[in-house]
Structure 1
Amino acid sequence: MTDPYAHRRGQVTVTVLGPDGDPVAGRVVTVAQKRHAFAFGNIGFDFVRPVGGADPSEAAEVEGFGGSSGIGLDELGELWLGLFNTATLPFYWGRYEPRRGAPDVKRLTATARWFAERGVTVKGHPLVWHTVQPSWLLGLDVDEVETLLRRRIRDLVSGFAGLIDTWDAINEAVIMPVFENGENAITPLARARGRIAMVRLAFEEARAANPSATLVLNDFDLTSAYECLIEGVLEAGVQIDAIGLQTHMHQGYRGEEYMRKMLDRFARYGLPLHLTESTIVSGHLMPPEIRDLNDYQIPSWPTTEEGEARQADEIVRHYRSLVEHPAVQSINYWGITDDGAWLGAPVGLIRSDGTKKPSYDRLAELIKGEWWVPPTEMRTDENGKMVVHGFYGDYTVEDEPFAVRPGETEASVRLRDR
């Protein structure tokens, strides 16, 4: 039977050396996986307030930006870190700099460091978007807005370099010039400059600020319109590091066939695919006639026992189909808890009271079960060697690090005196 995850696995012959540098023959050692190379992510919005403190602007928090009221930081952190290795933090301009010249640097820096200190890769979202914009931009002419936008990109990417080196450079550029659901200053700029010019602005400013950054073009529009934009951007010579694909499935799981065909369409550009915003609800489904998810806002959208069972089954199917596809490099789930979730939808893996839904445990069975090497005793041969098989990632032998990576077949570790 063909292994659907063969492209995710490798094997490496590890030579175990003693403190003197000589191979250790016949030694029983413990091998353990510490981290996946694959980016299993979730938003870290819930951590901004408990780690960084209250919002100094005293303005209302955006959804998912305040932390769960039903669970403390230590418990929430343990649950989050039990599954994920990549965190997306919010840099919406209107929330990050609600008053001109007073960006929310301190809180976001503290939150990013909290994750980084725990071995988590941190991503910023987004550098350019037409929604959640500061009101002080309104009324400015497009040239001034462009100048301020360029400065914002440079300040963020250079200021957080080394701590945050992955960014959604521009979000939802397909709709940006024609967006009509609320006044903002970015849509008129996009209308005046054009989509490709906006993408170029975002990527080139960010690239100049941090040449080693990973920059993502992100969109919810998965139609040919997005493909045309990607083709135009690439033909214009703009360097894209990854294609971001949003899959908020508030109206139901779209199924493996849909996902496979969609991924194949975007994989043809030869760029890594990042599933940047994935959600599956554990309550009733949004009515199918709703075209814009933002139009469905109701007083209460509770999680249900039936919905939780469905969510658990579908999240396993969703993750399996994505990890099976060789172009997918990252999956970012959009919500750890239901408290403060986008549009009030019950998409979290943890209920508002802090208890785990079945989807959390089912996902753990994949990420930290089937796709993971737990602490395992192995014996070295007469030459001090042993062969380790597993998903690409970081491993240890008796707490000494080595890695299983594509194209690498040999590694060595040197044990310390005990």
Structure 2
Amino acid sequence: MTDNRHRRATRLLGLLATGLCAAGLLTAPTAQAADPTPLRELAAAAGIHVGNGIEAAPLASIPAYEAIVGREYEAVTPGNEMKWGSVEPTRGQYNWGPADQIVAYAEANDQIVRGHTLVWHSQQPNWLTSGNFTPAQLRTILSEHIAVQAGRYEGRVYAWDVVNEPFNENGSYRGTIWYDNLGVDYIADSLRWARAADPGAKLYINDYNIEGINAKSNALYNLAVELLAAGVPLDGIGIQGHIIIGQVPSTFAANMQRFADLGLDVAITELDIRMQLPVTDAKLQTQAADYRSVFQSCIAVDGCIGVTVWGVTDGLSWIPDTFPGEGAALMHDAQYRPKPAWNSVYQLLGGTPPEEPGEPGNGTCAVRYSVADQWNNGFTGAITVANPGTTAIDGWELSWTFSSGQSVTNGWNGTWSQSGSTVRVTNAAWNRAIAPGGNVTLGFNASHSGTNPAPGTFTLNGTACTSQ
């Protein structure tokens, strides 16, 4: 990983040049038409890395997901693939496949990997939680697990979240299988075991709700002071960053700075900023300001090495299942389109976002529907979606309602789903953009029960299209 101080020196020179250009003392180069600069390159120039918490399954199966991860992010964190229950579901029997997949992908795409996580109270295998082990046995199990897992990826991860979420909200230690049986020393011991297994990796304690200065972050700060004084190998603090819109703490930067003043790295490791649904433009703008504030806080603290966003797309986020009624927490929406939060961060880091895609409807999308073939109880449908507007449509979902019980059995040139009488088709990776004057064609097979009228209205991204 590029040295953080060198990156920050580069950033300061860039900011100086920007100021001179604004003052008329330097002439900015003529803009050239080109693909937008990847976010990872902008972040590197600003002295930080930008990462994403990813999953192996969509990385391998969804082209739009993989394209964003590979292009835009310098660092990746396995969301679940390195947790104890995933890698050792049966004692002594390991499932390394998904974690290996992510590590190999990162290496092929010039990305760094954050190991997550070695010691946690959650997502543990049943054999461990139901084993009725003695404290001595648990200590052996824990040391062996850290040695095996950290040893397997020695030299292939830049950092480990060694201990995850050790504190309660009031600053007391969380009661876990580790704390209850081994006492607080399990934290120092785990860090020592991790250092022995992977000497080159940075070792972190990672927790949530420690963004600002509060009882929980104070407890972690005091623990860090004690560990460092005892010579325990602690290199950094991971601040998860699961935040509600409008609630970024005013003490975020000051909190990070006090850890940095101890000589520790600080990383924002699991950033998402959720809102109460439904989504509105006002909420999206607040979210954009919050994302910008978090990135600004990291840039302002010399010891903050990077920001990892916890997920690629709202459509695959953990938030709705954990916080019912809330969601839309990430920088890309469910159709993989950049949101105002993305543009806000992109601009903060010195980039110029591409022109906003055109909104469909009001004469800027048109649909031609026809039945290509029909038989006793089935038919083949053909649809052309055109963009007669002047700006590109980047990412789309077409929907309509069948009125006579028709049911789609399979479709092509998109991802198809049907709920009741409503059919939805989202773009494939290769046809997500509809240029001005351009179109995409879709086809499907469906069943019917004797009558087969054409749909009356089509909507693209929720807005009605004209019919051709």
TM-superposed deviation, 1:161:
1.9
Q: Secondary structure at the match of 2:238?
A: strand
Q: Confirm or deny that 1:334 pairs with 2:342.
A: no
Q: Confirm or deny that 1:44 pairs with 2:54.
A: yes
Q: Secondary structure at the match of 1:150?
A: helix
Larger Rg over CA atoms: 2
Contact 1:51 1:107 in 2 (8 A): no
Q: Measured at CA, do residues 276 and 50 of structure 1 come closer, stay the same or move farther in structure 2, by a change above 3 Å? A: closer
Task: Flag the structure with more relative contact order, 1 or 2, with Cα contacts below 8 A and sequence separation at least 6.
Answer: 1
Which residue number corresponds to residue 242 of structure 1? 236
Q: Secondary structure at the match of 1:332?
A: strand
TM-score, structure 1 normalization: 0.65
Contact 1:337 1:349 in 2 (8 A): yes
- For 1:236 and 1:78, the matched residues in 2 are separated by 45
Q: Secondary structure at the match of 1:336?
A: coil
- For 1:127 and 1:177, the matched residues in 2 are separated by 21
Which residue of 347, 357, 362 maps to 1:365? 347
Which residue number corresponds to residue 353 of structure 1? 335
Matched residue type, 1:9: R
TM-superposed deviation, 1:221:
5.2
Q: Secondary structure at the match of 1:102?
A: coil
Which residue number corresponds to residue 203 of structure 1? 191
Which residue number corresponds to residue 285 of structure 2? 309
Which residue of 167, 175, 184 maps to 1:174? 167
Q: Measured at CA, do residues 120 and 128 of structure 1 come closer, stay the same or move farther in structure 2, by a change above 3 Å? A: same
Which residue of 303, 317, 323 maps to 2:299? 323
Matched residue type, 2:233: Q
Q: Say how many residue pairs are matched.
A: 303
TM-superposed deviation, 1:310:
1.7
TM-superposed deviation, 1:244:
1.6
Which residue number corresponds to residue 224 of structure 1? 218
TM-superposed deviation, 1:102:
3.0
TM-superposed deviation, 1:7:
4.7
> Which aligned pairs between 1:4-403 and structure 2 lie closer than 5 A?
7=9, 9=11, 35=41, 36=44, 38-45=48-55, 48-51=56-59, 73-89=62-78, 90=80, 91-137=82-128, 138=130, 139-175=132-168, 178-179=173-174, 187-195=176-184, 197-220=185-208, 222=210, 223-250=217-244, 252-255=246-249, 257-281=250-274, 283-284=275-276, 301-344=277-320, 345-367=327-349, 369=351
- For 1:320 and 1:88, the matched residues in 2 are separated by 22
Q: Measured at CA, do residues 99 and 263 of structure 1 come closer, stay the same or move farther in structure 2, by a change above 3 Å? A: same
Matched residue type, 1:154: A
TM-superposed deviation, 1:100:
2.6
Per-residue Cα deviation, 1:190-218 (whole angstroms, up to 9, x for no partner): 123322x1122211111111211111121
Q: Secondary structure at the match of 1:152?
A: helix
Which residue number corresponds to residue 295 of structure 1? none
Q: Measured at CA, do residues 212 and 118 of structure 1 come closer, stay the same or move farther in structure 2, by a change above 3 Å? A: same
Q: Measured at CA, do residues 308 and 11 of structure 1 come closer, stay the same or move farther in structure 2, by a change above 3 Å? A: closer
TM-superposed deviation, 1:361:
2.6
Consecutive unaligned residues of structure 1, counting only runs of 5 or more, are: 13-29, 53-71, 181-186, 285-300, 372-418
- For 1:41 and 1:78, the matched residues in 2 are separated by 14
Identity of aligned residues (%): 25
- For 1:50 and 1:83, the matched residues in 2 are separated by 16
Per-residue Cα deviation, 1:291-324 (whole angstroms, up to 9, x for no partner): xxxxxxxxxx554433222211221222122212
Contact 2:166 2:173 in 1 (8 A): no
- For 1:143 and 1:221, the matched residues in 2 are separated by 32
- For 1:302 and 1:152, the matched residues in 2 are separated by 43
TM-superposed deviation, 1:251:
5.7
Which residue number corresponds to residue 382 of structure 1? none
- For 2:278 and 2:154, the matched residues in 1 are separated by 40
TM-superposed deviation, 1:121:
0.4
TM-score, structure 2 normalization: 0.59
- For 2:93 and 2:83, the matched residues in 1 are separated by 14
TM-superposed deviation, 1:105:
0.3
Q: Secondary structure at the match of 1:126?
A: strand
- For 1:334 and 1:8, the matched residues in 2 are separated by 27
Q: Secondary structure at the match of 2:240?
A: strand
- For 2:165 and 2:259, the matched residues in 1 are separated by 16
Query: What's the RMSD between the two structures over aligned residues?
Result: 2.9
Q: Measured at CA, do residues 118 and 130 of structure 1 come closer, stay the same or move farther in structure 2, by a change above 3 Å? A: same
Contact 2:206 2:240 in 1 (8 A): yes
Matched residue type, 2:309: Y
